[in-house]
Amino acid sequence: MDMAFAMTYNKRNSEVFGFGVPKNGSRERKRQMNDKYEQYDKKEQNISFATIGTSKITEKFLEEAQQNENFHLHAVYSRSMKKAEAFAQKYAADRHYDNLDDLAADQEVKAVYIASPNAMHYEQVMKMIEAGKHVLCEKPVASNFQEAEQMFKLADQHHTVLMEAMRSLHDPDFACIKNNIHKLGTVRRATFRFCQYSSRYDDFKAGGRQNIFDPKCSGGALMDLGVYCIEPMVALFGKPQALQATSVMLSGGIDGAGTILADYKDMIAELVYSKITDSDLPSEIQGEQAVMTIKTIANPGEIEIRYYNGQTEKPETEPCDSNLKYEIQAFVDAVNGKKDVTDFRNISLQSMNIMDRARKICGIRFPADRI
């Protein structure tokens, strides 16, 4: 999918930066969204949620979501009824299910948070949207671009909100990056890093089966951590002109680490990610006048600008323990008709396209690629 970007940093130094929008139909899409929003009561409404998945990320999500005054946990789903019942009791859900069709048929559920293995996203998202429910789906939103495109298309047809849970893009500190990047001058290089030794890797090396290291689950380092580097790159700089990629491949045909080089003609973006090593190095955006360091790209609460004349600046940020609350609020606002998340949809689609290209270069194939 080709994308035109409203503004770029290298040619226009500005404090306001646009996300990507499709070349064709973007104005019509925004007009339709505005028309839809007029149908909503602008007063914020409580939203009855269901969750799919009982992993640690679902627990973290619920810990933050239950602090939101518009959130109500109505139901939980697990393939195991025993797990579903225990999870419902732990988080005071009204109902629990082990059958997706039963969950989809629950008319009291207005929105669903999906945090299942990546390969399950497509089927589960499509089923929930067809039932008229809004969906917040964990990153990556799908196994590949084709799946993601069909999912967003169906959401349009059913007039529901589908949003990828990419927490860093909704963090006010990511806006701080965008609003200060002009101070760097012409940007020539960006290096985004996310390397975190997986707690599941030792078991995988010992012969255990782990979803995150399983191609059948559309797992691997690129899909789990690389996406945290790709989406900020797309949000800030748009679509690269060319792409190179390499991966450290593990047994079973899955990637444990990798690097992507993205060519923007007058700048280079380097993305470094790993689930089999750690790194304490920050991310950087280098310009001709200064360099911006970002301690953690997935949670950009510590930002510093070092000018080449020796001066330093620390833009005001809002550090927090978890920036999940910002993505939750963005989704709630979208469901309540107070926020247009079209820009984030475009970032999700473009990022999915980049991941497909990187996987093709590295020879990473998933069973889900058959569609």
Could you read off the pLDDT of 134-179 as tens digits, one per residue? 999 999 999 999 999 999 999 999 999 999 999 999 999 999 999 9
Residue spans of the chain under pLDDT 50: 1-27, 29-30, 33-34, 36-42
Is the distance from CB of 260 to CB of 244 less than 8 angstroms? yes
User: What pTM, to 2 d.p., does this model score?
Assistant: 0.88
Q: Given this model, what pLDDT does residue 141 score?
A: 98
Largest CA distance in the chain: 64
Is the distance from CB of 75 to CB of 109 less than 8 angstroms? yes
Q: What is the distance between the alpha carbons of residues 208 and 210, in angstroms, rounded to a whole number? A: 6
Q: Which residues contact 250 (CB under 8 A, 6 or more apart)?
A: 204, 213, 256, 276
From the list 314, 318, 278, the residue with the least C-alpha distance to 293 is 314
Centre a 10 Å sphere on the Cβ of residue 269 and count the other Cβ atoms it contains: 24
Dump pLDDT digits (tens) for 237-266: 999 999 999 999 999 999 999 999 999 999
Q: Given this model, what pLDDT does residue 9 score?
A: 35
